[in-house]
Structure 1
Amino acid sequence: MSQASITTLFTPSGRSQHASTGASHAASSSKAAHTRKHSELEDAFAPEATPLKRPRVTVSSRLQSVAPLAERLRPRTLNEFVGQPHLTEHDSLLMSHLDRGATGSIIFWGPPGCGKTTLARLLATHTDAVFKELSATDSGIGDVRKVVEEAKNLLALTGRRTVLFLDEVHRFNKAQQDIFLPFLEQGHLQLIGATTENPSFRLTSALLSRCRVFILERLSDKDIKKILTQAVERVSETDDSASASHSALPTSSPNEVLVDDDDDNTSDVASSQPDIEEPLTHPTSTQGSTASAGFSHAAKPSIDLPNYPQLTPKVLSSIVALSCGDARTALSLIELVLSAPTSSDETKLLAALRRSVATAYDRTGDSHYDMISALHKCVRGSQGSAALYWLARMLTAGEDPLYVARRMVVCASEDIGLADNHALPLAMATYQACQVIGMPECRINLAHLVSYLSEAPKSTRSYEAYERAEEAAKLDPSIPVPLPMRNAPTRLMKELGYARGYKYNPDYLHPVTNEYMPIQFCHDEFLRKEGDMTGKTWDEDALRQWVFEENGGQPWLGQPSEVDQIGGK
């Protein structure tokens, strides 16, 4: 700044210039205030305008928006729950306990997608209990202890019970399962466990004795179709309402995020209660239905939905078939269809759906053992077609062919046994072939073996003989071997009587007798003669069923005459 400028600032004329400038600003401010006041008076007497409220976007709504369709459309009340009528009907055992205000500790056992998690949440809501949810796949004893402490404090302060839902409860080992025992006995916690595995195999007897096991069945095709139809209607209504709301909202810039002003974005993501803050609107039937809504049993399925022309009756039926009673799979498939272009070709869409479905087979689960049991029993029953079907089911699902071959090796001795001594060598050859060749070619070797074993004559003489011998052996494991049956390689052993009196069979031209068995079992015959029918059952009804269902109504050739039957009795 120049010296002249500094001098001007500090002269009286400079001060007067600044004073006049301040007065000008003051006058301008007064005029602006007057203008604002006049504007406020005009607004007060102007017609009231309805402001456009921006939608509320919370943390829970953001998480809900990205959840799969199966999660977003879970039923909110027991009336909306589809399937499992043996559990949800008013006269069922579960509902009778629920009417008394508490369900106790229970285990839900059923296949995936049958409603175990949904039913657990609805029960907790119905009983006004605090709901806590854990998964045994990512939780441990520390998480359970934390829930128990909160449950005890809440029960002491408010009297409200806590329901802990533990998904995949079979994933807890025996030591982890024991953590629940004292808390369930004292009533500090109610446990609802969900498992797809047989509880009698995977849960401890101590835990099972403190819980009631309820079995959930696989959903029927009718149930799946009802769930799909109602889901599509709800999605369609949501899309229509979203379009209407979007057209009424002001245009925002691309970077603008519509968040309610009073939302501080600090709400808890995880809640101890089922999310019922914003209940889904129940769709009403377009066919003149009653007041029943949601997934209620009164809803009439319909696919007359112009918004989704790609969802044809054939596509819907295919989804029902591909879901195999799994509602989660069905909703995932319907979500793919709804997101597909409306001009999609039906044939290509069906092919894409079939490729997207994974085979419902767990090589370590119950289906693994159920199918191998079915295969073995079909071979035992000489049902070759049925045995090949179950073989194909297992192999196409990815089962290890060596596992099937090992089981058939057992079957060759257990069921065919002495009736065909070629069965065991063929089974061992097939096992080696599977080792050398592998899939997919070794499926032919397995088909050869399964067909042969199915048509081979059956005999369980050796297997049953061992069972009887084993039972006798367990009666007294301390019974000594008879002296004639012992070897005598030393002089001392000979002097003690080892091998004394033993007759070496090849030295004789005729049969000889030795003391082969302990005296307690010397008259027992474990391996019975061929044709011995001791202990076999004659069931006239079972024979008649076989005659009409499998033998074309022709009598069984081995059926004895009435005289023989009377004599046999």
Structure 2
Amino acid sequence: MSTTHDLRPLAARLRPQSLEDYVGQKHLLGDNGPLRAMLRSRHLHSMILWGPPGTGKTTLAQLLARATGCQFQILSAVNSGVKEIRAAISGAEQTRTQGQDTVLFIDEIHRFNKTQQDALLPYVEEGVIILIGATTENPSFALVNALLSRARVYVLKALDDTDLVHILERALSDEILGLGAIPIDFPSELRRGLLQAADGDARRLLNLLDLAVQLAERHGDTVKITAQVLIAATGQSWRRFDKGGEAFYDEISAFHKSLRGSDPDAALYWLARMLDGGADPLYLARRLVRMASEDVGLADPRALEMALAARDAYQFLGSPEGELALAQVTVYLASSPKSNRVYTAWNKAQALVKAGTSQEVPLHLRNAPTKLLKTLDYGKEYQYDHDYPDAIAPNQEYFPAGLIGTRFYEPSERGLEMRILERLRWIRTHRPPTREKTPHA
């Protein structure tokens, strides 16, 4: 058994050499998977591999090229530009004259700008290259439509524990780790901790294992990975949260929808996940202020006050003490009655203003600070509401003539808004009949 230590990173040493050794993505490579069907036909097409880090995008591209007999070229969008693209295309054209197709794999393709992406289009369309792009970002937002229309998108999933265990067991073989015949003492409960720290990312799993082995204690002829070693190797929270990418917006969405759905426990979970992953607490405070208006609204006007107070409390206390104020208002908003009637009314009002022409202000509502304006009937026949019972002028319109009868806001029957509904119903009985027209759509 060889004792020569391979100095490459463990993830590189363990990279599968055939599709039979590839772990995960059974929905794509299983018997009924689309990539398996493509391999049976031996016809490779351009594609985008979209998934979290460490799911095997680069390896899969290499193995697909190998299985279909294609030349494989790789570029990284981080340090490549149009010059490198042209050089790769030139090589592919030369290979094509020899009867072999070329797979051009572009890692982190979402980092290419529009000009760089457009440079690929004619060569993909003409078949000079088979493009395989890898991205952790949503292709709908990160790639130009013209490129997306020429490539099929395949979604790669984070590896589950079964997949990670398979990779871990293979990695623990002495040949892979380069420890010769020295056994590794790695208790099962600590292995579960390593799997949790990996969070579905095979590369992270192997990098952490590699570091743990380097830090491990040597007891005679045994390498022992202890809890202290594992803590030292992981060192921080490793759960996925990219502060601006797909995972970020997915977790923000889950947080908002849990709160809107009146589930304080789920809302607290997503808040904890985001704070644990490094989200800016003040960004989350701003989202809570938005939710207080959008989803709670006038069903409980105190919600907005509490959200603003939580923001101020965090600014005053900082982390971790101020995070409790964010948790407090999260529970309050999730537990409050909900109404989006002000939100929808505001959207309708904005849409009407943007779609229509400028309506004249009725003369009786106009300001009349000068004698001239008064002679032009500015402010004439205005009824001062406080001069009437209940401070409501019974025969006065406030809309321009062409919009009389328009209605945007219809209160719900939840929380305090029920009282607003009753009040507006009473007021509307004192308005002229023209105000009871069909509400504006």
Q: Same fold (TM over 0.5)?
A: yes
For 1:388 and 1:226, the matched residues in 2 are separated by: 33
For 1:183 and 1:488, the matched residues in 2 are separated by: 69
1:458 aligns with 2:338: yes
Aligned match of 2:437 = none
Aligned match of 2:328 = 448
How many equivalent residue pairs?
404
1:317 aligns with 2:199: no
Of 362, 380, 387, which residue of structure 2 is paired with 1:483? 362
Q: Per-residue deviation at 1:375?
A: 1.9
Q: Per-residue deviation at 1:145?
A: 1.3
1:120 aligns with 2:61: yes
Alignment of 1:452-531 (within 5 A): 452-474=332-354, 476-484=355-363, 485-487=365-367, 499=379, 502-509=382-389, 510-518=392-400, 521-531=403-413
User: Please, which moves more after superposition, 380-389 or 520-529?
Assistant: 520-529
| 1:525 counterpart SS class | coil
For 1:529 and 1:84, the matched residues in 2 are separated by: 49
| 1:67 counterpart SS class | coil
For 1:79 and 1:142, the matched residues in 2 are separated by: 36
Name the aligned partner's letter for residue 172 of structure 1.
F
CA contact (8 A) 1:236 1:307 kept: no
1:99 aligns with 2:40: yes
Structure 2 residues not aligned, in runs of 5+: 415-441
Name the aligned partner's letter for residue 364 of structure 1.
G
1:268-320, Cα deviation, whole Å (9 max, x unpaired): xxxxxxxxxxxxxxxxxxxxxxxxxxxxxxxxxxxxxx842312322322222
Change (3 A) 1:103 1:343: closer
1:194-250, Cα deviation, whole Å (9 max, x unpaired): 11111112112222111111000111100110111122236269665xxxxxxxxxx
For 2:46 and 2:377, the matched residues in 1 are separated by: 66
1:181 aligns with 2:56: no
For 2:14 and 2:315, the matched residues in 1 are separated by: 48
| 1:464 counterpart SS class | helix
1:88 aligns with 2:37: no
Change (3 A) 1:524 1:124: same
Structure 1 residues not aligned, in runs of 5+: 1-54, 56-61, 241-305, 533-569
For 1:386 and 1:422, the matched residues in 2 are separated by: 22
Name the aligned partner's letter for residue 508 of structure 1.
Y
Q: Per-residue deviation at 1:356?
A: 5.9
Aligned match of 2:205 = 330
Change (3 A) 1:123 1:487: farther
User: Please, which moves more after superposition, 386-395 or 493-502?
Assistant: 493-502
| 1:527 counterpart SS class | coil
For 2:53 and 2:375, the matched residues in 1 are separated by: 71
For 1:371 and 1:147, the matched residues in 2 are separated by: 38
CA contact (8 A) 1:483 1:500 kept: no
Change (3 A) 1:147 1:430: same
CA contact (8 A) 2:53 2:201 kept: yes
1:214 aligns with 2:154: yes
Supply the RMSD in Å over aligned alpha carbons.
2.7
| 1:122 counterpart SS class | helix
Change (3 A) 1:322 1:358: closer
CA contact (8 A) 1:308 1:338 kept: no
| 1:82 counterpart SS class | coil
CA contact (8 A) 2:345 2:408 kept: yes
For 1:218 and 1:194, the matched residues in 2 are separated by: 14
Change (3 A) 1:201 1:219: same
1:133 aligns with 2:74: yes
For 2:367 and 2:86, the matched residues in 1 are separated by: 63
Change (3 A) 1:355 1:494: same
Change (3 A) 1:514 1:200: farther
Q: Per-residue deviation at 1:176?
A: 2.1
User: Please, which moves more after superposition, 315-324 or 132-141?
Assistant: 315-324
Aligned match of 1:412 = 292
For 2:177 and 2:200, the matched residues in 1 are separated by: 26
CA contact (8 A) 2:172 2:184 kept: no
Change (3 A) 1:205 1:499: farther
Alignment of 1:229-244 (within 5 A): 229-233=169-173, 235=175, 240=180
For 2:330 and 2:177, the matched residues in 1 are separated by: 54
Name the aligned partner's letter for residue 159 of structure 1.
G
1:165-201, Cα deviation, whole Å (9 max, x unpaired): 1111111122322221222222212211111111112
| 1:362 counterpart SS class | coil
For 1:425 and 1:356, the matched residues in 2 are separated by: 35
For 1:150 and 1:190, the matched residues in 2 are separated by: 13
Q: Per-residue deviation at 1:336?
A: 3.0
Aligned match of 2:425 = none
| 1:123 counterpart SS class | helix
For 2:102 and 2:395, the matched residues in 1 are separated by: 74
Name the aligned partner's letter for residue 78 of structure 1.
L
Alignment of 1:189-200 (within 5 A): 189-200=129-140
Q: Per-residue deviation at 1:398?
A: 2.0
CA contact (8 A) 2:362 2:401 kept: no
| 1:65 counterpart SS class | coil
Name the aligned partner's letter for residue 356 of structure 2.
P
| 2:105 counterpart SS class | strand
For 2:243 and 2:176, the matched residues in 1 are separated by: 39
Q: Per-residue deviation at 1:397?
A: 2.2
Alignment of 1:142-541 (within 5 A): 142-155=83-96, 157-233=97-173, 235=175, 240=180, 307-339=182-214, 340=216, 341=218, 342=222, 344=224, 346-355=226-235, 358-474=238-354, 476-484=355-363, 485-487=365-367, 499=379, 502-509=382-389, 510-518=392-400, 521-531=403-413
Aligned match of 2:432 = none
Q: Per-residue deviation at 1:74?
A: 0.7
CA contact (8 A) 1:417 1:461 kept: yes
1:70 aligns with 2:5: no
| 1:120 counterpart SS class | helix
User: Please, which moves more after superposition, 342-351 or 98-107?
Assistant: 342-351
Greater radius of gyration (CA):
1
User: Please, which moves more after superposition, 192-201 or 90-99?
Assistant: 90-99
Q: Per-residue deviation at 1:495?
A: 6.7
For 2:42 and 2:315, the matched residues in 1 are separated by: 59
